[in-house]
Amino acid sequence: MILLPGGRFRMGSDVHYREEAPAHEVDVSGFWIDRTPVTNREFAAFVAETGHLTLAEQAPNAADYPGALPEMLVAASLVFQPTTGPVRLNDWSQWWVWTAGANWRHPTGPGSSIDGLEDHPVVQVTPSDAEAYAAWAGKRLPTEAEWEYAGWGGNSAHEFAWGDDLEPGGRHMANIWQGEFPHGNTVADGYFRTSPVGHFPPNGFGLSDMIGNVWEWTSSWYADRHAANPGKACCVPQNPRGAALETSYDPAMPDIRIPRRVLKGGSHLCALSYCRRYRPAARHAQAIDSSTSHIGFRCVKDV
């Protein structure tokens, strides 16, 4: 882990996606943070010692999903599959496939494995899985504010954690999507899916894969806007924990009250043509029962 000193920084953005606004001042205390996302090797050690069964390895309870088709109530998870050509980008179901047997051991389905991917980030985990690992390791998940402070690496005055150019001098700084999403990844950075942690340059704090590779769970509940900037130095939030649980439900699903957490960092699926969330200020809502082939996590620890 790396010890971060804490301090004040400008969280959020007023010039990108609506949910990142308004930009506002935040103070965070010092904390320890994992240098990289938790890897398959590390998660396997946790499972071997505790026998933990991830949510994706368990069949859903029909009572929690009224109206669900019986064939959907099996141990499964979401797996990204590229389309054969251009599609409308407002329908994610065209490239996300509910796949029976997909879990952290088989990240893209029953025919896949993590053999040879021991140093890649673990995926197909929910917040409950991440928090079980964190408790076992004597750690916890970061808040959104802690994660974003760490993600900037002390460089929050710029567009990206490394400066104002996505690929300075033609150098790939993170594992993201190159080309037209979701069908035309040129794989110019060398990876179609996840990459080994630490392969790309670390940020100013020495932290790897804060941008790209996999989205990362936080402990913060999601709201579609940040709180307003208080505008006075005396009123800057200290160690904000995030929104209230009640704000996190998806208004598009009033009959299914599943809370959502904040994801940070973007993933290998973030693309110039679709999802420009390869920035520390970017954020995304994810239901706590949903694991995918592009979400992982890292842990923090109090000083």
Contact 124, 293 (CB under 8 A): yes
Q: Are strands 215-221 and 295-296 parallel, antiparallel or unpaired?
A: parallel
Contact 34, 300 (CB under 8 A): yes
Residue in the structure block whose two tokens are 């690992």: 133
Rounded to an integer, what is the distance from CA 262 to the centroid of its chain? 8
Length of the chain: 303
185: β partners: 179
For the full predicted model, state whether its pTM sits above 0.75.
Answer: yes
pLDDT of residue 36: 98
3-state secondary structure of 169: helix
- Give the C-alpha separation, 250 to 230, whole Å: 27
Nearest to 142 by CA among 130, 152, 158: 130
Contact 84, 183 (CB under 8 A): yes
User: How many CB atoms lie under 10 A from the CB of residue 192?
Assistant: 14
pLDDT of residue 154: 93
User: How many CB atoms lie under 10 A from the CB of residue 296?
Assistant: 31
**Segments of the chain scoring below 50 in pLDDT:** none
Strands (E), 40-174: 76-80, 96-100
Q: Give the pair of three-digit tokens for residue 94.
A: 């065209």
Report which residue type is found at 174: A
Indicate the helix (H) or strand (E) that contains 46: helix 40-50
Contact 245, 221 (CB under 8 A): yes
pLDDT of residue 156: 84
Q: Give start and end residues of each alpha helix (H) in 137-270.
A: 144-152
What sign for the dihedral angle of Cα 70, 71, 72, 76?
Answer: positive
